[in-house]
A and B are shown apart, each in its own frame.
Chain A
C-alpha cells in the first residue's frame, strides 16, 4: 500500500510519507484541494508513535542550525533540512491533525518565503468577484467577525496569507484550512490582490487610506523562523514593494452589514461619496 501524499501550497510541492497508512485518509481529508503531482521540494517522513524519541517543547519552538530547521510543540517534534530536501515529523496519533497543521504551516511558510519574493501576513483573505481582499490586525481586532460578515464570498485563507508579486501585481495563494473560518469554492491557484485592510473594531464605521510609512510599519510580519534564514534585508524590501503597489486602509467597523458596502465604497470611484460619508463616521444602517 502506498503511504505517500503529495501536497502543494503557494506553488511549493511537498511529499508526506506516513509510517502508518491508516492515517493517510485522515490527512488527505484535511488537505483536499491541495494535492499535487509535481516533483516535491521536500519529502517529509511522518512517524506516528506513542513513544516519542525526541522531547517536544511545551510552548512551541522554531530553531535552526544552518539550513536545518527544527519545529516542535507539546505533542510533536519535527525537522526540515532545506539543502537535502528532507524532513521528519514525530507525532502522537491522537494529536496528528493539530500537530500536522502547525508543522506544515511552518514548512510551507518557510518554502514560500525562500522561493521568489514570497510574503506572509497574519490575517484573512476573502475572494470576491475574482479579486482578493486581505484583512489583518492583532488578535481581537475582528478577523473572525470579518469572516462571519463575508457570507457568500470565498475565504481563501484564515490564518496566514501567502502573497507573491508577479507581472506587476500581487497575488494571493489559498491555504489549507489552518484556521476555522474557510468556506467557499476555489482552485489551488493564485488570485489577484485588490487591497489590504487593517481592522479595528469601533463604535462607528470609518475608513482611512494609510500612507506608506504607516502601512509598512503596521503590516510587517516577522516569519517565525531564525533570522539566520529569513534575513531582515530581504524582508523589508518585499513589504515596501507591497505597500507601494497595493492600496492600504484602516477599516474601523461594527458588526453589521455595513462592512462590505464600506469596503466597496472605499475602492470604487462610483462610491466616492459613500466613502467620504464613511470617513466621517456615519453608520450605514442598511
Chain B
C-alpha cells in the first residue's frame, strides 16, 4: 500500500482557501473540506509520489514520526479513494520499471 501512487481524480476540482482545501466531487454531489495536513496530502497526490514518499515529506514538515505519518497517509488516501476523490496510478516499482 505504501508504494502506491495517489493522483487526484480528474472529475474533482479543488481550491485552497485560508489554508484549507475545498474539494468538489460532482459525480457524488459532494463537497469536502480538508484541514492543513489533509490539504498537504491532497496537494502531494500528484501522480508522481508514492504514499511512502508523501509520508516522508509529512514527517519533515509536521515534525511527526515516520511510522505515524505513513499510517495516517495510508488511511487518508484510502478514505479519499472510497469517496472517489483520488485514484491510484500504480506503484513506485511500476514507475521505475516504466
Contact = CB atoms under 8 A, between A and B. Distances in A.
Interface of A: 211-213, 216-217, 220, 222, 227, 230-233, 235-237, 240
B15 A232 contact: no
Interface of B: 11-15, 17-18, 20, 22, 24-27, 29, 31-33
A213 B20 contact: yes
A212 B17 contact: yes
Contact of B31 (A211, A217, A231, A237): A217
A216 B18 CA distance: 12
B11 A232 contact: yes
Contacts of B26: 222, 227, 230, 232, 235
25 contacts: A211-B18, A212-B18, A213-B17, A213-B18, A213-B22, A216-B17, A216-B22, A217-B22, A217-B31, A217-B32, A217-B33, A220-B24, A222-B24, A222-B29, A227-B11, A227-B26, A227-B27, A232-B11, A232-B12, A232-B24, A232-B25, A235-B24, A236-B14, A240-B17, A240-B22
Nearest to B23: A236
A220 B15 CA distance: 13
Most chain B Cβ neighbours within 10 Å, of A217, A232, A233, A237:
A232
Contacts of A231: 13
Most buried by A among B14, B17, B32: B17
Per DSSP, chain A at the interface is helix
A286 B12 CA distance: 48
Given A227-B26, A235-B13, 16 more contacts: A212-B17, A213-B17, A213-B18, A216-B22, A217-B33, A222-B29, A227-B11, A230-B26, A231-B13, A232-B11, A232-B12, A232-B13, A232-B25, A235-B24, A236-B13, A240-B15
Nearest to A227: B26
The 7 closest A-B pairs by CB, nearest first: A232-B13, A233-B13, A227-B26, A236-B13, A217-B31, A232-B26, A222-B29
B8 to A, nearest CB: 11
A217 B18 CA distance: 13
Contacts of A237: 15
A241 to B, nearest CB: 11
Nearest to A222: B29
A240 to B, nearest CB: 6
B36 to A, nearest CB: 12
Nearest to B28: A222
B15 A236 contact: yes
Contacts of A236: 13-15, 22, 24
Contacts of A227: 11, 26-27
> Which of B15, B26, B32, B33 has most A Cβ within 10 Å?
B26
Contacts of B31: 216-217, 220
